[in-house]
Structure formats: C-alpha cells, structure tokens
Amino acid sequence: MAWKFEEDIIDICFEILNKSLYFLKNPSKDYSQRNDVVYVCRVVSAMINSNDDSGVLQGNWGEDYSKGVSPLEWNGSVAILRQWSARGGQPVKYGQCWVFASVMCTVMRCLGVPTRVVSNFHSAHNMDGNLTIDTYYDQNAEMLPSEKQDKIWNFHVWNECWMIRKDLPPGYNGWQVLDPTPQQTSSGLFCCGPASVRAIKEGEVHLAYDTPFVYAEVNADEVIWLLRDGEAQEILAHNTSSIGKEISTKMVGSDQHQDITGSYKYPEGSPEERSVFMKASRKMLGPKGASSLLLDLLGSRVFEDQPVQLQLHLARMPVWGQDVPLMLHAWRVPERAHPRGPIRLVVRFCAQPLLHGGGTRKPLWRQMVHLSLDVGKEIQWPLLLPYNNYRNKLTDEKLIRVSGIAEVEETRRSMLVIKDLSLEPPLLSIEVSERAEVGNILRVHITLTNILMVALNNCIMVLEGSGLINGQIVKDLGTLMAGHTIRIQVDFYPIKTGPRQLQVLISSKEVKEIKGYKDIFVAAATAS
C-alpha cells in the first residue's frame, strides 16, 4: 500500500468525495456531514468501487485482464489513485478485494481516520441470511457448482476504521468493519459498514450498518453434502469452525501478521460462541427459523460417528511448476460400537483448480486408493499431483483443491477429506549494500532463480517505493529459462528520509505475481 502522504494523493482523496453520488445529489448537505466519520466512511466505501458511480476501481473476478491490469500486479495505491484522477474519474481496471481494501486504507488514512487492512480466511458470502453455506460433492470427490448464490471465498479482505459510534448504544466504539468490495447494496449503493467489531462478536446483528452480512462472513456454518443421482443424500460434514478460520491484520511496526480472530468471535466450539450464534440466528431468522436451524444442526451430527479418520498433509511447501507431494493419513477410531475386524475403504481423489470466489473448474487429476485398517492401525499413503496435470489449467492465483471421498465398504457410508493448496511462486532476493541517503545514489541488486520446469516468458519488472522512487521504474527482462538465475542492478536516488519500503514485482506470461520487499532506512544527506 502506498504511503498516504505521497505528493497529490490528499487532493485526490477530496476529489473522490466530490465525485460521490452523495455530493452530486446535494453538495451543501454532503459538506455539512463531512464532520461525521460514519458518513464519510460510507461515502468512501461506495466510491472505491465503480458499480454505481465514478468510483476508483472496476472489479474483475474473471480471467481476462487484457483491457487493464491484473489485480495481482498492483504494487500500491498511488498508481491507481493517480490514474483515476488523470482520466477524469474513469474507473481503473482492475481490482479485487485486496486492491479495493488497500486503496480505501490509503484514502481513509489521508482523511485522518485510523485504518487498517484485515484478511478473513474462508470467508462466507451468505446471500439468503440463513447462516449456513451448502456445498456439494459427487461420489468421485468432485466439487459441484451450486445454483445458490451463497459461496465461500478462499479469503476476503476488508478494512477496519477506528471511530466513536455516537449512533450506537455505549460500548460499540473502536474498530468498525468497512468493505469497499462490491458484494451487495446497502441503502441502495454498493458499500458495506461501518459494522462494529464488538457488535459482531456479541451477535448484536440489529445494529447499523450491515452487521448481519459481516457476522455471516466470519461465523456462518458450512454444510457439505454428497450428491447421488442429482440429489443431496448424505451429509459429509457440518463445519461450525471453518468459516472465519483466521482473521488477521498487519502487526504495528512489523511485517508480521497479527491474529485478531478473538476480536470477532469467542473461541470456536465454546459455549459462548454457540450461544452468540443462536442469538444472532434468532435476530436474523426469527424464533421459528432459529429453532428450525438448531434442529438441522443437531440432526447433522449423525455423520460424526465414523470408524476411521482421514487427513491430507503436504510433504513440503508446494511450488508452482513442480510436482506436489501429498500424504493421506488414515487411522482407526477405537470405539466399541464399531466393527472389530478390518475396515475396507475405497478413497477417490480429485484435484480441481480453485477460484478465488470459492468455485472450482473441471478436475485435472484423479486417483483411487484401496485401504484396509485393523483396530489401532494407521496408514500413511503417499500421493503425487504431477506438474503436467495442472500446467496451463490454473488461474493466476495458482490455487488447487484436492478432495477425497472415502466409502466404508462395510457400512456404505462416506467421508470427506479436503486440502486446499496455494502454489508458491519463485522467491526474489533483494540486496542493498550501501547506506541509503537522500539525494545520493543507491544501488540495489535483485536476484531471481527460475526453479520451475518451464521458462518464464515476457518478464517485466516494476519497482515502487514511496520516498525512494518518484513513480515507478519498469524494466523488460525478456525470458528466464528453467533453472537459470538473473541478477539485475538498479540505481536510484532516495527522495525522503525515514523508514521506507522498496517493492519489486516481476510478472511473466506463466506467473503474474513474483513479489519481494525490502525495508530501507533513508538518512539525511551528509554535509560535503
């Protein structure tokens, strides 16, 4: 994210306010409300996306970015905001959640509101408000598309702004959720929040703004169904803790992440968490709907009494361009009600490209395994997903879902095991040998080794750094053959003192996002 005091950015932030529908409909009323932080936040949340106004960014969750820039390739907010202003308020192409949130963070900090970016892993998009997300698999472990609009994002990114909430009862000040990604309308516009984080944790979903939607993002339950002959016939899993798996933000003064899940909900599985869940469901669904939900959840427990447990593990960190080794761990559960002899399993595995929005593409790999487990026995079964199976079949995010459906021959009941893979790109190395001073040349060496099995074609390097570089440095690197290393020297003259960060992006036809960062402290120029 760009440093907020970059030249001309504050002016652009006020330009954003002045192009909002709120301002255009009634300028004098808009001006009179700009001392209300809740109002300003809602205006900015609506203006970061372009769904119903001259907003900053146009969203694109497809795979064709030929008319703009892939969301993965942005290094910071400055280039986006300057492009939007220079083109008279035409939306910049393209953004996804992390881009929307990063730009909003810059704008809100410019306007004097403490703001941070928050990531929610396994984030629910619950359109019908029933606090359950249904997903479906067939007998061959293939995840199937759903006709419902509900979905589970692999991750979702929003903002928190710190403010006093004079419009809410006492106790709901502090961090508030604001989400500029256009998911649904609020009072007729594509914006979201501010929703009190405290209200979300306590299930007070009646409090403004959009609290039920955010509550579901972090607290909905997931029910996974097995489909046979086009009908949902068996519950494979009821996950009460998979949504909002980890909620984190950047730690102050460090590049490390800070887990803030406890700010949004009580510990998963605790009496407090389930009590809040039922309280929120009563407010959202009414007493009758909440009672029906509770019966459904209690009824879904029947699948839990299985004689075998399964887990999928990674043998090592998965890297794009290499084979992916996996390990299936299977073991018997020592319960008297289960059969005493061997239990035979047929496990059908399937790997599918996983989309950021939670959907999948057609399978790219299948495998079947036969296992026999005696009481007290454990099995470690190796699996290998070859590179050639997923080459040219993934989206730019390089995500894969590996799922397995195990059928117990003795009972004919099924079990599900899932592992989501995020394939890592090659690593960049950034070295700065000299002392950094304002106005003096600073030499940086950037090294990239192509550890992939294929060449990286049409490589472009982009460098940015507030206070280090005015704008961007762009270099064409050509082709980097498999197994080869490239070392690039870049010279520039730091502009401002203090702690700075150099951001390096190398994109290619094969991998859109190879990024590296280097913290650099810039001293004042020494007297000659």
Task: Tell me if residue 104 falls in helix, strand or coil.
Answer: helix
Q: Given this model, what pLDDT does residue 337 score?
A: 54
Exactly one of 97, 110, 191, 350 is catalytic; name it: 97
CA distance 42 to 61: 23
Tens digit of pLDDT at every position of the chain (528 positions): 444 467 799 999 999 999 999 989 999 999 999 999 999 999 999 999 999 989 999 999 988 899 999 999 898 899 999 999 999 999 999 999 999 999 999 999 999 999 999 999 999 998 877 888 989 999 999 999 877 778 899 999 999 999 999 999 999 999 999 999 999 999 899 999 999 999 999 999 999 999 999 999 999 999 999 998 888 878 999 888 999 989 999 999 888 999 999 999 999 989 999 899 999 999 988 876 666 665 565 545 555 567 889 999 998 889 888 899 999 999 988 765 555 678 899 999 999 999 988 889 999 999 999 999 888 789 999 999 999 999 989 988 899 999 999 998 888 889 999 999 999 888 899 999 889 999 999 999 999 999 888 899 999 999 999 899 988 999 999 999 999 999 999 999 999 999 999 999 999 988 888 999 999 999 998 866
Q: What is the DSSP letter of 255?
A: S
- The per-residue pLDDT for range 207-219, each reduced to its tens digit, is 999 999 999 999 9
For every residue of 338-356, DSSP letters joined together read: S-SS-EEEEEEEEEEEBPT
Tell whether residue 221 is among the known ligand binding residues: yes
Tell whether residue 219 is among the known ligand binding residues: yes
- Residue 97 catalytic? yes
Residue matched to tokens 């700075």: 500
List the beta bridge partners of residue 475. 461
Exactly one of 53, 105, 110, 156 is catalytic; name it: 156
Q: Given this model, what pLDDT does residue 450 score?
A: 93
| Cβ neighbours for 197, distance < 8 A, ≥ 6 positions apart | 160, 174, 175, 176, 177, 263, 264
Assigned token pair, 185: 């309308």
Cα–Cα nearest to 50, from 210, 182, 171, 165: 182
- The per-residue pLDDT for range 98-150, each reduced to its tens digit, is 999 999 999 999 999 999 999 999 999 988 778 889 899 999 999 998 777 78
- Residue 179 catalytic? yes
Domains by residue range for the chain, with CATH = 7-111 (no CATH), 114-299 (3.90.260.10), 308-422 (2.60.40.10), 428-522 (2.60.40.10)
Assigned token pair, 64: 């064709």
Amino acid at the residue 194: P
Q: In what order do the strands lie in the sheet with 174-178?
A: 195-196, 174-178, 151-163, 115-125, 246-250, 257-259
Instruction: Compute the half-sphere exposure of residue 246: CA atoms within 13 Å on the CB side of its CA.
Output: 5
For every residue of 353-408, DSSP letters joined together read: EBPTTS-B-S-SEEEEEEEEE-TT-EEEEEEEE-HHHHTT-S-TT-EEEEEEEEEE
**What are the distances in angstroms from CA 186 to CA 13, 42, 179, 182, 210?**
22, 9, 11, 10, 7
Q: Given this model, what pLDDT does residue 115 score?
A: 98
Q: Given this model, what pLDDT does residue 293 score?
A: 62
Instruction: Compute the half-sphere exposure of residue 317: CA atoms within 13 Å on the CB side of its CA.
Output: 5
Q: What is the CA radius of gyration of the chain?
A: 25
- Residue 110 catalytic? no
Tell whether residue 268 is among the known ligand binding residues: yes
CA distance 226 to 135: 9
Assigned token pair, 101: 């949130």
Exactly one of 105, 179, 192, 238 is catalytic; name it: 179
Q: What does DSSP say about strands 57-59 and 92-95: parallel, antiparallel, or unpaired?
A: parallel
- The per-residue pLDDT for range 169-216, each reduced to its tens digit, is 999 999 999 999 999 999 899 999 999 999 999 999 999 999 999 999
Q: What does DSSP say about strands 343-353 and 132-137: parallel, antiparallel, or unpaired?
A: unpaired
* Distance from the first to the final alpha carbon of the chain: 35
CA distance 97 to 360: 19
**What are the distances in angstroms from CA 10 to CA 15, 36, 108, 284, 294?**
9, 19, 10, 40, 50
| Cβ neighbours for 150, distance < 8 A, ≥ 6 positions apart | 124, 125, 126, 127, 128, 133, 134
Q: How many helices (H) does the chain have, and how many strands (E)?
A: 11, 27
Q: Given this model, what pLDDT does residue 338 score?
A: 57
Where does 98-213 show beta strands of DSSP type E?
A: 115-125, 132-137, 143-144, 151-163, 174-178, 195-196
* Enclosing H/E stretch for 478: strand 473-480
